[in-house]
Chains A and B, each alone.
Chain A
């Protein structure tokens, strides 16, 4: 569905991505693991068009995305739930959702999607007229996800949705991720919490220092000695 190949992105002279290739399969959850500073956020921002790569290509169902503006990339069907959520704090929950549909013109369909979001996230419905800045961290994360979904993405990118949230809330976020996937949403999920990711993801990529250093299924990931030690903390038999 989404194919990234040989992507190089730099900040000045620093190469944050040194030729990254990965594949996101349609209907699946692909998880990107890796330590801080590995380049995960840089990759997400490059796919979303906020950063321009030096080289490489990003194809959505065969169509090149590199060179398009972020707005065009949204209308092609990519939505990013950014690191730290970045909801619009001075807007109400309802306005945040409307902003998520900024590229769309189908008013009645937007209204219908809004009701679907409220059905999926009842907390947001209760707080629809509340300013987003006054929501809890977990609620803001749900709002960020709902806002991204309002663009009706074909691929949903999520950059560390569990960052800074309490364990119970993290579990809730992962339930939502799993539920969205059951409804057919294709996802590329950046996550540091490998235990959680193992429960939902179908395919894993590990990034270190701007390169993909491992790729495999959850089974292969759990078997890998090095990953065991670095990301799963404990050694388990089998």
Chain B
């Protein structure tokens, strides 16, 4: 029983990193109805900005965080200009394929600049695990979970209680109608992309500061986990993205504990598959989102 609770707690902690990654994905998917496969790699580019600053200049944690966010935003906007802005409505496949090409490009660029496989990343918190009765919780995990909750709340507030969010939701509903009420659709989409990249940057920073290392594989890992968490949680829903991430983490940790590391990912894909079959809208998605997602 203690093991079960401990595993669930660990799962929630790991899952908060997936939820964080899914948040940025959700913003992009919500706005564009298109998959940005190079989302993870843009976060990885940010991570490399951060690690260079840390290694070569001895930068502190906040400066590293700022560098990760800046790097992610710059490469995210680069992807938007290249793969999304020029594509007409309905060209979702073209955007997806070109974002895959950019993924490869970004990964190669990272390997060229920093050829070693792993680089250290500054830790969030180094103290010993907190003991709560028989249970253990890592302090950096707590910070990551707190960060995920806070970021989700900020994104939700921005979407539903600001002028920018109103404009963005208008674009999501109908770009022509949004244009007609005076929303500058192209500009707003680019800003949303930058915001999603910044969210990805914060997510990447928290996740890497817990892992304390960065590799070129991080990009693929981030795209994969973020995508699965988003699909489980519900396309286009911010609380859904977070919940989907937590659920994914809990399933992974329990299956790892019960059946060993080899089946961990198998179970993750099984959960995704079960959701796609039984509840294609995800935990909190609506069917309307599913219909639209066919356009991807």
Contacts and interface: CB of A to CB of B under 8 A. Distances in A.
Contact of B181 (A69, A89, A90, A151): A151
Given A69-B184, A70-B180, A102 B173 contact: no
Interface in A40-76: 48-50, 69-71, 74-75
Given A90-B169, A91-B169, A74 B182 contact: yes
A50 B184 contact: no
The winner among A48, A69, A87, A89 for most chain B CB atoms within 10 A is: A69
A86 B182 contact: no
A86 B166 contact: no
A90 B173 contact: yes
Interface in B162-192: 163, 166-167, 169-170, 173-174, 176-184
Given A91-B166, A98-B166, A103-B181, 7 more contacts: A82-B180, A88-B170, A99-B166, A99-B170, A102-B166, A102-B182, A151-B182
Contacts of A90: 169, 173, 288
A88 B177 contact: yes
A28 interface: no
A208 interface: no
Contact of A86 (B167, B169, B177): B177
B162 to A, nearest CB: 11
A79 B180 CA distance: 7
Interface string A3-25: 00000000000000000000000
Interface string A76-109: 0001101000111111000100111011000000
Contacts of A86: 174, 176-177, 180
Contacts of B169: 88, 90-91, 95
A128 to B, nearest CB: 15
Interface residues of A, number: 26
Interface string A183-206: 000000000000000000000000
Given A86-B174, A95-B166, A99-B170, A50 B182 contact: no
A87 B180 CA distance: 11
A147 B177 CA distance: 11
B139 to A, nearest CB: 40
A234 B177 CA distance: 38
Interface string B131-171: 00000000000000000000000000000000100110110
Contact of A48 (B167, B173, B174, B180): B180
Nearest to B174: A86
B70 to A, nearest CB: 29
A90 B177 CA distance: 13
A70 B169 CA distance: 18
Interface in A134-185: 147-148, 151
A187 to B, nearest CB: 16
Contacts of A82: 176-177, 180
Given A88-B170, A91-B169, A95-B166, A102 B181 contact: yes
Contacts of A87: 177
Given A102-B163, A102-B167, A88 B182 contact: no
A190 to B, nearest CB: 15
25 contacts: A48-B179, A49-B179, A50-B176, A50-B179, A70-B182, A74-B182, A75-B182, A82-B177, A82-B180, A87-B177, A88-B170, A90-B173, A91-B169, A91-B170, A91-B173, A95-B169, A99-B170, A99-B183, A102-B166, A102-B181, A102-B183, A103-B181, A103-B182, A148-B181, A151-B182
